[in-house]
Amino acid sequence: MANITELSDKTFNDETSKGLVITDFNADWCPPCKMMNPILEKLSSNDELGDKIKFTSMNVDNNPDTPNNFGIQGIPTFIIKKDGNVVGRMVGYQPEEKFRMALEKFM
């Protein structure tokens, strides 16, 4: 996913501390996570959204600390941060239009 930055427990804070950032907490074995991948790729490549929102992703199996710190119990979970502060959260599969409208509220 070329327009989506892969994060780790070590890089999460630095990568999500400035601007508007959405992080997709996911796992390789998760069917709803896989269903979200094309939607995230499409929206992150969109000039309207991709230039205003930084799209990031974190595999919860490889990076347990950050998801634990955010109390993530189900995946996919999407955390939206603005200048380092959490401003939104979505859990589960989201249809593209609903997901886009949710993101646009923060722009």
The verdict on whether 95 is a catalytic residue reads no
The verdict on whether 87 is a catalytic residue reads no
The answer, as to whether pTM is greater than 0.75, is: yes
The residue range of the domain holding 25 is: 5-105
What spatial distance separates the first Cα and last Cα of the chain, rounded to whole Å? 23
Domain count, the chain: 1
Which pLDDT score, from 0 to 100, does residue 83 have?
96
Catalytic residue among 7, 21, 22, 33: 33
CA 102 to each of CA 17, 55, 63: distance values in angstroms, whole numbers, following the listed order = 20, 14, 26
- DSSP 3-state assignment of 23? strand
CA–CA separation, 107 and 43 (whole Å): 14
Catalytic residue among 4, 21, 30, 79: 30
Kindly give the confidence (pLDDT) of every residue in the chain, 107 residues in length, as a single tens digit, with 9 standing for 90 and above. Answer: 568 999 999 999 999 999 999 999 999 999 999 999 999 999 999 777 878 999 999 999 999 999 999 999 999 999 999 999 999 999 999 999 999 999 999 88
The CATH code of the domain that includes 59 is: 3.40.30.10
